[in-house]
Amino acid sequence: MRKPFICGNWKMNTRGQCGAELAKAVADGIPAGSQVEVGVCPPTCYLGAVGPAIKGTAVGLGAQNMLAEADGAFTGEINPAMLNDLGCQYVILGHSERRQFFGETSEGVSKKTQAALAAGLVPIVCVGETLEEREGNQTEAVVAQQIEGSLAGISAEQLPTVVIAYEPVWAIGTGKVATPEQAEAVHAHIRKLLTDKFGGEAAEKVRIQYGGSVKPGNAAELLGQPNIDGALVGGASLKAEDFLGIIAAA
């Protein structure tokens, strides 16, 4: 069975102290013996403040991006070894905001995915279609291209460590959530793509998160779908009560 994984993407929000308090409140609110894997991804500059607040708890630390390079002349960037040093377990890669505003491509995401795996980080690889693509019946083709491109160079042995986040762009931060049926259809499609490319044994082990306006009130139905193995949560991860409500629904 795949362990449900709920991860908070704080995006460019919080400050050091309130971020540490938020993460601590989440850690304190997770019931003992919970079978849900939980992570939080603060802004890069606060990883060092949030990490110590959740050290030794059930909440893991993740970054929102990284560069797939060793140390060197890359002004303003951070690499996998630095994320290790900061105590990160996870790194979100290819989020639609990075694809949309910073020109990230699936080819670049595949380099980052390989580098993350080589450094022992769990990559959370984001894919998803725009509203225009959905309305043009291109969802399956777009997601297939993104999966193919973003996982290039990954082996079947490495695949189970990778987490995929299906995030329809039209549902991110908009309050418009995909219906459980719409989400499940794409998750099943992704599982099929992974099966065709890597074989059923590896594909069955991959957690596929849904992301896009997940809230405590809609989480249970989404997470109840057979191929939805968790959630990548933006807005609702900024309030401990809401995030804990989603964790409880898993």
Looking at beta carbons only, is 146 or 213 nearer to ligand PEP? 213
199-238 residues in contact with ligand PEP (CB under 6 A) are 211-214, 232-236
Number of amino acids touching ligand PEP (CB under 6 A): 14
Give the residue with the Cβ less far from ligand PEP, 147 or 172. Answer: 172
CB 222 within 8 A of CB 183: yes
Eight-state DSSP code of residue 137: T
- CB 222 → ligand PEP: shortest distance, Å? 12
We find the least distance from the C-beta atom of residue 236 to ligand PEP, in angstroms, to be 6
**E strand spans, 5-110:** 5-9, 37-41, 59-63, 90-93
Q: Is 11 annotated as a binding residue?
A: yes
Kindly state whether residue 173 participates in binding ligand PEP, applying the rule CB under 6 A. Answer: yes
Q: Does 128 bind ligand PEP (CB under 6 A)?
A: no
- Does the annotation count 184 as an active-site position? no
Cα 158 to Cα 113, 212, 230, distances in angstroms: 10, 27, 20
Least spacing, CB of residue 152 vs ligand PEP, in Å: 23
Q: Contacts for 169-173 with beta carbons within 8 Å, 24 or more apart?
A: 169/96, 169/100, 169/128, 169/129, 169/130, 169/131, 170/129, 170/130, 170/131, 170/134, 170/212, 171/211, 171/212, 171/213, 172/96, 172/97, 172/128, 172/211, 172/212, 172/213, 172/234, 173/213, 173/234, 173/235
Q: Which of residues 138-167 bind ligand PEP (CB under 6 A)?
A: 167
Question: Residue 114 corresponds to which tokens in the numbers above?
Answer: 């390989």
Q: Is 242 in the site for ligand PEP (CB under 6 A)?
A: no
The one catalytic residue in 129, 167, 184, 187 is 167
Smaller CB separation from ligand PEP, 197 or 239 = 239
The residue type of 96 is S
Instruction: Verify whether residue 189 is a known catalytic residue.
Output: no
What is the residue-wise DSSP string for 155-171?
-TTTGGG-EEEE--GGG
170 annotated to a ligand binding site: no
d(Cα 125, Cα 90) in Å, to the nearest integer? 10
- Please check if 213 is assigned to a binding site: yes
Measured from each CB, the residue nearest to ligand PEP is 234
Select the residue interacting with ligand PEP from 4, 9, 66, 106 (CB under 6 A): 9
Q: Smaller CB distance to ligand PEP: residue 11 or 191? A: 11
| 118 in Cβ contact with 110 (< 8 Å) | no
Q: Which is nearer to ligand PEP, 40 or 232 (CB)?
A: 232
Binding residues for substrate are 9-11, 173, 213, 234-235
Q: Which residues are catalytic?
A: 95, 167
Return residues touching ligand PEP (CB under 6 A).
9, 11, 167, 172-173, 211-214, 232-236
